[in-house]
């Protein structure tokens, strides 16, 4: 057997490192956490997607008493974007979260596997990289693409 290694490059950034467009996307993701419906986990996640047409579409996690029926903020946002603006390319997505204490999480929060796969579909449709900004209270992680967050992804579609 041959041992192999997968490495992921990303940037560590402070809020002030972003341009005004990036700052706006981060603020929209933070604001979207207020529209979360999370009576079970009390973990409020917001996502904001900037589209090629300049629109920013947001989503927030929507939980349900029948747990699998709920959805994450990222999928809420990308499916809404796909439904409202079919065929419009994604530029970037920012994701923020507030923990059970109601405060923004100190560490950036990463999307779950299902959301990574869902976002990958839109990245593939866009035909270019979609930047992913994971927003923590004091700093962010910036990934150059959705695919970079999903090594060995299922992308043969
Ligand atoms: Zn998810």
Q: What is the mean pLDDT of residues 118-131?
A: 95
112 C-alpha to ligand 1 centroid (Å): 4
- What percent of the chain clears pLDDT 70, i.e. is strictly above it? 99
Within a domain: residue 108?
Answer: yes
**H/E segment holding residue 33:** none
24 C-alpha to ligand 1 centroid (Å): 22
Within a domain: residue 137?
Answer: yes
Report, as residue numbers or ranges, the catalytic residues. 74
Q: Kindly tell me if the per-residue pLDDT of 157 is higher than 70.
A: no
- Long-range contact list for 114-118, CB < 8 A, 24+ apart? 114/72, 114/75, 115/72, 115/74, 115/75, 115/78, 116/146, 116/149, 116/150, 116/153, 117/150, 117/153, 117/154, 118/74, 118/75, 118/78, 118/79
Within a domain: residue 1?
Answer: no
Within a domain: residue 92?
Answer: yes
Q: Kindly tell me if the per-residue pLDDT of 105 is higher than 70.
A: yes
30 C-alpha to ligand 1 centroid (Å): 16
What CATH number corresponds to the domain at position 97?
A: 3.40.140.10
Q: Kindly tell me if the per-residue pLDDT of 34 is higher than 70.
A: yes
Strands 90-98 and 56-60: unpaired
Predicted TM-score (pTM) of this structure: 0.96
Tokens standing for residue 139:
């700093």
Domain limits at 26? 11-149
Tokens standing for residue 43:
């973990």
């Amino acid at each position: 057997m041959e041992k192999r290694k997968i490495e992921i490059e990303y940037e560590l950034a402070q809020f002030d490192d972003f341009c005004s467009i990036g700052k706006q996307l981060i603020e929209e993701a933070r604001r979207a956490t207020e529209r979360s419906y999370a009576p079970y986990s009390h973990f409020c996640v917001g996502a904001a997607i900037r589209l090629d047409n300049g629109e920013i579409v947001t989503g927030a996690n929507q939980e349900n008493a029948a747990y699998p029926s709920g959805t994450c903020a990222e999928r809420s946002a990308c499916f809404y974007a796909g439904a409202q603006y079919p065929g419009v390319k994604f530029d970037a997505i920012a994701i923020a979260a507030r923990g059970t204490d109601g405060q923004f999480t100190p560490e950036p929060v990463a999307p779950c596997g299902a959301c990574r796969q869902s976002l990958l579909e839109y990245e593939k449709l866009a035909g270019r990289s979609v930047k992913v900004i994971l927003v923590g209270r004091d700093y962010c992680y910036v990934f150059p693409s959705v695919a970079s967050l999903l090594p060995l992804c299922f992308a043969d579609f």
